[in-house]
Structure 1
C-alpha cells in the first residue's frame, strides 16, 4: 500500500533537516571559537564532572599560592624590621659595655646615654612599622592602631592585642603571617632566663652579686629570696637567706661570708664578690616578663648612677649587670622570633612549589578532558557544513515536486 506524504510534511521534514544540520554547524563553530569540546554539561556529563573537580583543584591551588604570597610579604617586612632591631640592641649593648669602663666619668657616660636614648626612639619606630597598605605590622588584629606609645616618664605601652592571623598555604598547612608586638617586644624573660639577682641600691658595702643558676632542680623551692648580711656575736660577717613565702633558710648559727666561696641553697647557686657590710641586702627571684623598652630604660638608669666611690661603683656594677643580662635575653628572644619567621618563610616557599606543581598537573588533566582537538573539529565542521549544504539543496529540489507543475 503506497504511503501518502503531504506537501506540508515534506516542507516540515526539509526544514527540520536544515535546522538540525545548522545547529550542529553552529555548535562546532562555537567549540572552535572557545577551544573546548564541552560547552554545556549535557555535551559530556562524565567529562563535565571531572572538569569541575579539576577546576576546583586549580582554584584551590591558586588561592593557596595567593595566601602564601600575602603572608610572605608580611613576614619579609617583619624579618627586615627584626634584623634592624637586632642591630640596634647590639649597638646598645656595645655602648653599655663602654659605659661600664671604670675610667669613664659621668660626662663621658652622658654622651653614651644620649645615643642610647636615640636608639630607643629607633626601636619604637621599628615596633610601629607599617606595611605598604598602611596596616601596622606588630599590632595583632588591631592593624589600624599604632602599637607602641611612650608617656612622659619614658615608659612604653603596647596598644595592640595578641592576635595573629593564620593563613592556609595548603589543605592541611596553616602558617602564622606575623607576630604580635606583645610577643616580640614584651614577652621577654629577665636576668639569665631563670633568675634575676640584684643588689639593693642602699647598700654601703662593695658586694657585687653574680647571676644565679639552678644546679639541682630536685630540691629547688620557688620563691623570692633576699640575702641579708649582719655581724655575728664575734663580729664576723654572716648572712641569712629568707624566702618571701617560705621564710628563713638557715637556723642559727648562720653561715659566715666567704668571698672566695659560692653560696648554694635550695638547689640555687650564686656568688658575691667584694665585701658587703652589715645591713646590706641582695635579692634573688625567678625571671619575669619585661619589655625590651623597659630593659633599655633600665640600662640608661644604671649608666646615670655615679661611681666615684667604691660603694657607688658596686651599686653601679650591680645595676649594670642586670641591664646587660636583660639585654642579652632580649637579643636572644629577637633571634628566636627571627628564626621562627625564617622557618615560616621556608614553609611558604616549599608549599608554593607544591601548589604550583599541583596546579600544573590539574591544568594538564583539565586540558585532556576539555580541550578541543582542532584537526578533528575542523574535519567535523567541514562534514557538517557539507551535510547542511546537501540538506538545503535537496530541499530546493523537493519543494518543486508538485502536481500543479504539470497541470
Structure 2
C-alpha cells in the first residue's frame, strides 16, 4: 500500500519506491534491492520532501542559540561589572537616572576635597595669627616692664631693641605666610570664595584681614564711637563696628566717602534720608570697599498722662508711607498705664514695621528694625510725647521725624570721610603696632594700649576664621552624607543582583549547550540524504 505522501525519486534512471513498514504509526521506508535505505515519519515534512537547500531546523536552532548567547553575554557582563545597567540600551530611563546620580556624586566628592583644602588654608592662617599674637603678648609684657619707674633710659633702650626684633618677626609672618603660593595675611586674601557644594553658587566667602605690623592697632574707633551729622572730619577704622547717627539733626545733602581694603567709593546722602536707605547705599558698594552696613531706628519718648490721637508712619514729613491712626488713653506713666498705648501701636506693626515697648525708665520706645524713618504727625489729645531735650509733642504742635542710625562693619581697615555732611564724636585715635616705642614711660604706656588693640584685632580675626572653619567642616560633612545617600540610591537603580544574575547565567549556559547540540543534530539531518546517493 502506497501512502499519499509516497513519492518517487529518480536518480540515474533508477526508481526508488517507498513502502509502508508501519502504516498505523505513519512510518515508511525506502527500499532498494530489498534493503531498507531510509525510514521516515509522515510528520517529518522536510525529510519527506527531501529538501536539502534550506535547513529550516538549523536556522530555527541558530536563531534560538543567538538569543541565548546574547542573554548569556548580558549576565556575564553584569557579573563582571557588578552592574545591571552597563549602557543606555540596557535600561534607557534607568541609565539616565544613574548618570544624573553620578554627576551629583562626582560634584559632591570634589566639594569635599575643596572643603578640606579650605580647612587647611584656614588652619594655616589661624596658626600664623596665633604666632603673631604670641609675639604681641611678649611685646606687651616688655611694655609693662618698661613703664616701671625703676628702669633707666639704657634699660628701656635695650627693651626697645627686643621689641623691634619682635615686631620685625610679626611683619615677616604677615607678609610671608602662604598657602598654595598665595599670601593670606598681608591683606591681599580678600573676597575669596570656597566652593563647598556640588552646584553653582554653593560657596562660603572668606576675607582675611591685613595683620601686618603697620596695619594692626591703627586708628581705632571704640565701640561707643558715634558719628553725628553736622560737622566735618574723617576717621580710619581697622574693622570695629561704629555708628552713623542720623537722629541728631539729620544728614544734610552731600557724599560720604569710604576707602576700604578693596577700593574706594562714595555714597550720596539726601536731606531727611532714612537710615535704611543709607545702609542700602553702603551695601551696594560693599564689593568695592569691603564695608557692610546695617540700619535701625529707635526713639524713647517720655509720656504724660492723658488721651492720645496721632498718625504713625514711615517716610518723611512730606512723604509719609504706611500711615496708621493711633488712639489710646494713658492713665499712669508706669508700664501698666502705658499698656493701652503700646498695644494700639503694636496692633499695626505688620503694616508699619514699628514696634512699641516700655523701658526701665517708663519711657515709650518706638523701634523700626529695618532703619526706616518713624514719623509722628497729626497729634491730638491731652497727653504729650517728649524725646530727650527736644520740644514736647502736643496737640497741634506739629510732627516728629526720627531717622535712626547706620552701623558699619568690616573685617579689614577702612577710612570714612564726610566733608560738611558728616561729623565725628567720641573718637579715640591710636598708632599702628609698628610704631611702638618703649624707650620712654609715656611711649611704654601708649604701647600697652596699641598692643591691646592689635591683639584684640587678631583675636577677632582668629575667631572669625574659626567660625568659617566650622562652617566649612559642616558643609564637608553634609556633602559626604549626601554623597553616601546618593550612592545608595544609585545602587538600587544600577547595581546587579548577583544571586539573580548567577541563576540566569547557569540557565543560559545550559540553554547554550543544548542549542549547540541541537544545531549539530539539525545539520547532520541533511547529511542523511547522502545515503540516498549510489
TM-score bucket (shorter structure): 0.5 to 0.7
Distance in 2 of aligned mates of 1:386 and 1:185:
83
**2:221 aligned residue:** 193
Distance in 1 of aligned mates of 2:168 and 2:186:
18
- Change in 2 beyond 3 A, CA 1:187/1:41: farther
- Change in 2 beyond 3 A, CA 1:405/1:15: farther
**2:432 aligned residue:** 295
- Change in 2 beyond 3 A, CA 1:320/1:224: farther
**1:221 aligned residue:** 231
Secondary structure of 2:111 counterpart = helix
- Change in 2 beyond 3 A, CA 1:185/1:167: farther
**1:79 aligned residue:** 126
TM-superposed CA distance for 1:76, in Å, is: 0.6
**1:118 aligned residue:** 165
- Change in 2 beyond 3 A, CA 1:337/1:91: same
Contact 2:219/2:432, CA 8 A, preserved across alignment: no
Write the deviation string for residues 166-193 of structure 1: whole angstroms up to 9, x where unpaired: 111124542245626x367665463552
**2:483 aligned residue:** 359
TM-superposed CA distance for 1:45, in Å, is: 1.1
**1:274 aligned residue:** none
Write the deviation string for residues 119-166 of structure 1: whole angstroms up to 9, x where unpaired: 1232123113445755543357xxxxxxxxxxxxxxxxxxxx354431
Distance in 1 of aligned mates of 2:219 and 2:177:
31
Distance in 1 of aligned mates of 2:66 and 2:213:
76
Is 1:167–2:302 an aligned residue pair? no
**1:92 aligned residue:** 139
Contact 2:195/2:204, CA 8 A, preserved across alignment: yes
Which of these two proteins has the greater Rg computed from alpha carbons?
2
**2:250 aligned residue:** none
Contact 1:184/1:334, CA 8 A, preserved across alignment: no
TM-superposed CA distance for 1:344, in Å, is: 0.6
- Change in 2 beyond 3 A, CA 1:184/1:381: farther
Is 1:380–2:390 an aligned residue pair? no
Q: How does 1:28-177 map to 2 (within 5 A)?
A: 28-131=75-178, 133=180, 135-138=182-185, 161=188, 163-170=190-197, 171=199, 173-176=202-205
* Structure 2 unaligned regions, length at least 5: 6-44, 236-424
Determine which of 417, 436, 439 is the counterpart of 1:304: 439
Secondary structure of 2:194 counterpart = strand
- Change in 2 beyond 3 A, CA 1:394/1:184: farther
- Change in 2 beyond 3 A, CA 1:36/1:217: closer
Runs (4 or more) in structure 1 with deviation over 6 Å come to 1-5
Contact 1:295/1:323, CA 8 A, preserved across alignment: no
TM-superposed CA distance for 1:397, in Å, is: 0.8
* Structure 1 unaligned regions, length at least 5: 141-160, 196-212, 226-283, 306-315
Determine which of 2, 15, 22 is the counterpart of 2:69: 22
TM-superposed CA distance for 1:8, in Å, is: 3.5
- Change in 2 beyond 3 A, CA 1:220/1:183: farther
Is 1:323–2:444 an aligned residue pair? no
What is the TM-score of this pair, normalised by structure 2? 0.49
Distance in 2 of aligned mates of 1:391 and 1:165:
68
Write the deviation string for residues 289-343 of structure 1: whole angstroms up to 9, x where unpaired: x9xxx7344222xx335xxxxxxxxxx52x4444333222211111111011000
The number of residues matched between the two structures is 293
Structure number with the higher strand fraction is 2
What is the TM-score of this pair, normalised by structure 1? 0.63
- Change in 2 beyond 3 A, CA 1:355/1:297: closer
TM-superposed CA distance for 1:77, in Å, is: 1.0
Contact 1:35/1:371, CA 8 A, preserved across alignment: yes
Distance in 2 of aligned mates of 1:63 and 1:185:
37
Contact 2:142/2:163, CA 8 A, preserved across alignment: yes
Contact 1:190/1:325, CA 8 A, preserved across alignment: no
